[in-house]
Amino acid sequence: MKTTEHIQRIVDYLRAHPALNVVLVTAYFFFILFMHHPLVLLSIAIEKRIGIELYNVAVAVIFLSVVAAVIYVLVKAFRQHRENRRLKVFYLVATLLLLVIHSRFMFDSNIEVIHAMEFTFLSFLIFPLVSRFGAAVFFTLPFMLIDEWYQYILLYPDWNDYFDLNDILMDTYGCGLTMSALMILGIKNAKHHIALTRRAEFISWALLIILVLAAVQLCFIAPYASDTCGNTLLIMNERITPEPFLRFHPSHNIWYHVMQPAEGFAVIMLLHLFYFGMDGLSKHTA
């Protein structure tokens, strides 16, 4: 299949040129950071011009069209790459289902789906550096966290009143879809077999959990404004107490769920653990 051949050549070239790969990862990440505000202004302008209802429909049609086109290519790829078909289908369908559920309960506007798209290419660029599908998803997480911190603290300090873990969840779905697509297309991952608990991504995952829990315990990170101390560096949610399950968006006239700090952190870490299974769980099945 020509699509697989072309993508495999790109992956192999980047593997052979890791310095260039790092430069591309860095450049694209800065593109994500600094293009965010111009795109937000463009989105607001379009929404005001055509109305939120029509805007939501237009975004949904465009996104579903892209997904349909990608699925068409992937269905054709199944005919040539039949190995581990159940695993491939499971991760593709599970990710799409999670994305649909998220869009139903956690969107204040359909344009939020852009988070599932902007990090797809970043995870693709990271894949040649780590050579495992689940690792490519996880090692995109630090970039997601920096992106949200940049928006929350520097870009919109008077606009956002919480660190948006909803967005990080959407970013992760985008990365999961990308890696599911690479699996289905038959792109080769690492040849060596390493048990899950010995992989760099799992060790980093466990260390991140310990680091965050320690930061909360030492009050460097405060879940809510009422939890702050003299040494607090980051308040995850500026409200005094946990808000109701659903938050109302006045201009969009919609109720949506904002994940609370503990809830969001737990869900995100479990989701990344889930994607580690793309590469198998032991040295016998990897």
3-state helix, strand, coil split of the chain in percent (to 5) is 70, 5, 25
Helix (H, G, I), strand (E, B) or coil at 199: coil
How far is it, in rounded angstroms, from Cα 20 to Cα 59? 34
* Residue 44 CB-half CA count within 13 A: 7
Domain boundaries, the chain: 2-279
This prediction's pTM: 0.92
pLDDT in tens, the chain (286 residues): 678 889 999 999 999 999 999 999 999 999 999 999 999 999 999 999 999 999 999 999 999 999 899 888 888 887 777 777 888 999 999 999 999 999 999 998 999 998 888 899 999 999 999 999 999 999 999 999 999 999 999 988 888 889 999 999 999 999 999 999 999 998 988 766 788 999 999 999 999 999 999 999 999 999 999 999 999 999 999 988 887 888 888 888 899 999 999 999 999 999 999 999 999 865 543 3
Residue 222's nearest CA partner among 239, 247, 209, 206 is: 239
How far is it, in rounded angstroms, from Cα 62 to Cα 88? 25
How far is it, in rounded angstroms, from Cα 172 to Cα 159? 24
Residue 196: enclosing H or E segment and its boundaries?
A: none
